[in-house]
Structure 1
Amino acid sequence: MKNNHSNHLLLLTFATLLISTSGTLGKFIDLPTAAIIWWRATLGALFIFGFCRYKKLNLKIRSNRDLPSIILGGVLLGTHWVTYFYALKLSNVALGMLSMFTFPVITALLEPFFTKSKFNPIHILLALIVLLGIYILAPELNFKNTYLKGILFGLFSALCYALRNLILKRHVNTYDGSVLMMQQAIIVSILLLPAMFYLDTSNIKTQFPYIIILGLVTTAIGHSLFISSLKHFSVSTASIIGSSQPIFGIIIAFIFLNETPSFKTFIGGSLIIATVIIESVRSRK
């Protein structure tokens, strides 16, 4: 049992690392935000479809009663992606990721309304520590520039992401995580398709390698692993452990975008990592 838990925890952490590449890619790719998300969703869906066919997974929606929540989850995922990438474009990788990573706080507060679980004081405490870490990490704001807009987009993205994870929680024991992710990516692709007729994507050839990484590594593999982890962890636990994403994202941005973290980044990051370790040990018990 302990080995199984360690394996599940390792896969969740690996999923977190892969998903955290979205910050640098979202900032770096030189395309309109809606176009980036459409390519991300479309390529992600194709990659996952190939994997599901290889694994001979059942791709059908098994009950009409599941359809509304799966569609709603896809709408929320698309909204989360678009607003998150706007947050990255308007600010920087650190601020965009950190403002979006208020979602563990939102998840911990909303989960009792979606499941039979009760408010857990430990989750609230850990979520508040994460929030404090994010507050310390955030740079000084100048309300005359776009940083405030970036934070607001990030906070709204966090709300959409938390709601989407809570809605999908009810389906993880019925559907494979890869199947759920494929279904949601298809929904996002369909919703954004009309925008592709009006956006300037003339430089897509130069951006395509990065789009492929975003669709395959970040979306197809990362998000499928994260959804699968909900079979073994509560949404709050997975969200709090996933709070290490900004740390990974800041490191990746430093390496590839030369965005240098400040001393406050290390202090706030230490608080976030501390909550990840505490929740990992607590969930093991």
Structure 2
Amino acid sequence: MNPVKRSLISLHFTVMLLGGTALFSKLIPLSATDITFGRSLFGFIALFIVVKLSGESLKLNNKKDYFVGIGLGIIMAAHWVTYFAAMQYASVSVGIIALFTFPVITVLIGPVFEKIRISWQDIVSALVVLVGIGFIVPSASLTNDVTLGVIIGVFSAFLYAVRNLSHRKYFSHYSGYKAMAYQMMVICPCLLFFVSDEFTSMNTKTALMLILLGTVFTALPHTMVANALKHLRAKTFSLVACMQPFYGVVFAIVLLNESPTWQTLVGGLLVISAAVYETVNAHKEQKALKEQTPNS
């Protein structure tokens, strides 16, 4: 099997693993904060081993990078907590669809980070996402858990977009697994004082689930992404990554017996369609920009 085909298969498996992380919001009987702390703790240990085996270290290049890394870790902590909280309030299906508003949010807040303009197509994408979210939200009341879950999920998507844009601009010169290891190292002390008594008194089954989440469903896929990108274009990765909600919803239906309503499925289709469009459009713009830039 050639390296490209092998990397593509590996990438789909990676996205399936990332989609599976949503299940742990229901499978682990802990709060979103406790789950995030456990995920980060065991994920950091696993990635720290990967970094060491690769011959690298967690040492950064300069003082500025340490400040950036700490900032990214804090944002990532808030993102993961709200990610799991959204699914605990609503459902895995609703939460993961709400999260995938982030490609459109990225486009809308991109001008703050990069010298780009918002096109009318981006505005249309944003409207499509709003319509999609409108299908998912059952009522306008915050007393409704599903509505609250959607709002928290979209806020999590906003945090994820800010993290991704900041990472791309200030931290992308580090390998993916090293960057994630550093950010998870920051997450642990950030959440340490918010961990509940249930975390320290959890049973063996819960501990094993957290280890599984932190290693197989977090450290492993981030390592696999770094390896897959050696043979695949970033555009290919981004498009395959848009399959994550599909895998997450399928897993929720099969393993958790969730029954998404037709409104959730239609809303999800609209949100993911906008995400795919923005992914394709972003790479077209990057390609056009490179073609316009003269060789130095």
Q: After TM superposition, is the score higher than 0.5? A: yes
How far 1:130 moved relative to its partner?
A: 4.8
Deviations 1:183-232 (A, max 9, x none): 00010011111233x42232331212221221013321334556786x95
Identical-pair percentage: 30
Deviations 1:161-198 (A, max 9, x none): 111111111245421111000000010011111233x4
How many Å separate the matches in 2 of 1:256 and 1:277? Answer: 26
Q: Which residue of 1 is the match for residue 61 of structure 2? A: 62
Say yes or no: does 1:151 pair with 2:131.
Answer: no
Say yes or no: does 1:163 pair with 2:155.
Answer: no
Contact 2:104-2:274 within 8 A present in 1 as well: no
Task: Check 1:175–1:81 CA distance in 2 against 1; reply closer, same or farther (3 A cut).
Answer: same
Contact 2:47-2:219 within 8 A present in 1 as well: yes
1:220-235 correspondence to structure 2 within 5 Å: 220-224=219-223, 233=234
- Residue ranges of structure 2 left out of the alignment (5+ in a row): 288-296
Q: Which residue of 2 is the match for residue 30 of structure 1? A: 29
How many Å separate the matches in 2 of 1:17 and 1:120? Answer: 32
Matched AA of 1:156: F
Contact 1:31-1:204 within 8 A present in 2 as well: no
Contact 2:103-2:275 within 8 A present in 1 as well: no
How many Å separate the matches in 1 of 2:125 and 2:8? Answer: 18
Matched AA of 1:60: K
Q: Which residue of 2 is the match for residue 250 of structure 1? A: 249
Contact 2:242-2:276 within 8 A present in 1 as well: no
Q: Which residue of 2 is the match for residue 263 of structure 1? A: 262
Say yes or no: does 1:85 pair with 2:60.
Answer: no
How far 1:16 moved relative to its partner?
A: 3.1
Q: What SS does the aligned partner of 2:243 have?
A: helix
How far 1:153 moved relative to its partner?
A: 1.5
RMSD across aligned positions (CA): 3.2
Matched AA of 2:118: F
How far 1:245 moved relative to its partner?
A: 2.2
Matched AA of 2:86: A
Contact 1:102-1:131 within 8 A present in 2 as well: no
How far 1:67 moved relative to its partner?
A: 1.7
Matched AA of 2:168: K
- The two structures have a TM-score, normalised by structure 2, of 0.79
